[in-house]
Amino acid sequence: MSYNNILSDHQNGITTITINRPKKLNALNKVTIQELHDAFDAADNDENTKVIIITGSGEKAFVAGADISEFADFNVEQGGQLAAEGQELLFDFVANLSTPVIAAVNGFALGGGLELAMAAHFRVASTNAKMGLPEVSLGVIPGYGGTQRLPQLVGKGRAMEMVMTAGMIDAETALNYGLVNHVIEIEELLPLAEKIASKIMRNSSVAISEAIHAINANYEAGVNGFNVEIEAFGNCFGTEDFVEGTTAFLEKRKADFPGK
Ligand code: COA
């Protein structure tokens, strides 16, 4: 598939999706959101892709937010529609993907950029990264899941302060808050994400998908996550990966999982 605003590259079980509008600090316009949806969908359906890494091109920005020029003249209805479509097409879509998604935050992750990073299953950041939800400085609020995912990750008080001040936090603070798992020099960022991905790839993709589903259930209103876990746990017993994983352990050899 060919894209205008993103790059998608597959190597050794990892699909790296790079948002590629560096002159606009990789801001998410409508076309980019659709292309990201298509690239994530293709990678998720590709049996050779065990892990997806999402990052931004250049050394300045992961994503500096939703493209402000596209919604500056929207009315109430259009605003609501923008958020609903974006959440469905990209942010909830990524959060609920069966394939693990790691965000490699390589600079500014603001507004929709931080929301995209937060929709990923976890995040690593470069030392120059700066994160924030500046929407209230524009007279709007985060609309791509930010008011929900930020408190889940950093706690309500910190999320309230970040949203109300519209300020940015640096990578060390993000690490301290639990918003990112690791901070590293920018040239080591993708190698680190790939190293973590290779550890993930040694394990059963099928079991990992069930685990993502069960962990996400903890954050779904009206869903009993413990029940989801019980069902997901049971599902594993019907898979070839389970047979291979347990047999390999008992035979004292490394498991060779049949895959996705
Ligand atoms: N939407 C649309 N365009 C954006 C953008 C966004 N969210 N963020 C940056 N850009 C564009 C700028 O308009 C500029 O384009 P131009 O060269 O055609 O004028 C280009 O990207 C470079 O940005 P610039 O502001 O010149 O870079 P900077 O280094 O001075 O500042 C930021 C960097 C990130 C602090 C600043 O770009 C910014 O505040 N961006 C908006 C962040 C935001 O509010 N995001 C939430 C949106 S809901």
Q: If you measure from the C-alpha of residue 24 to the centroid of ligand 1, how many angstroms do you get, rounded to a whole number?
A: 6
In angstroms, rounded to a whole number, what is the distance separating the alpha carbons of residues 150 and 139?
A: 19
Residue with tokens 């590629």: 20
Tell me which residue of 201, 206, 202 sits closest to 242, measured CA to CA: 206
As a whole number of Å, the end-to-end CA separation of the chain is 21
**Which run of H or of E encompasses 55?**
strand 51-56
Q: Which of 35, 59, 77, 135 is the catalytic position?
A: 135
Of all protein residues, whose CA lies closest to atom 29 belonging to ligand 1?
60
**Which run of H or of E encompasses 120?**
none
- Ligand 1 pocket test target in 19, 20, 24 with most atoms within 8 Å of CB: 24
**What pLDDT band is residue 258 in, cutting at 50, 70 and 90?**
confident
User: Taking a C-beta distance cutoff of 8 angstroms, is the pair 190, 104 a contact?
Assistant: yes
115-168 per-position pLDDT tens digit: 999 999 999 999 999 999 999 999 999 999 999 999 999 999 999 999 999 999
Q: Exposed/middle/buried for 213, CB within 10 Å: 0-12, 13-18, 19+? A: middle
The pLDDT score that the predictor gives to residue 260 is 77
Q: Which of 35, 115, 194, 210 is the catalytic position?
A: 115
Residue 73, helix vs strand vs coil: coil
What percent of the chain lies above the pLDDT cut of 70?
Answer: 100
Strand order in the sheet with 6-11: 6-11, 14-19, 51-56, 101-105, 122-126, 182-184
pTM of the entire predicted model: 0.97
40-75 per-position pLDDT tens digit: 999 999 999 999 999 999 999 999 999 999 999 999
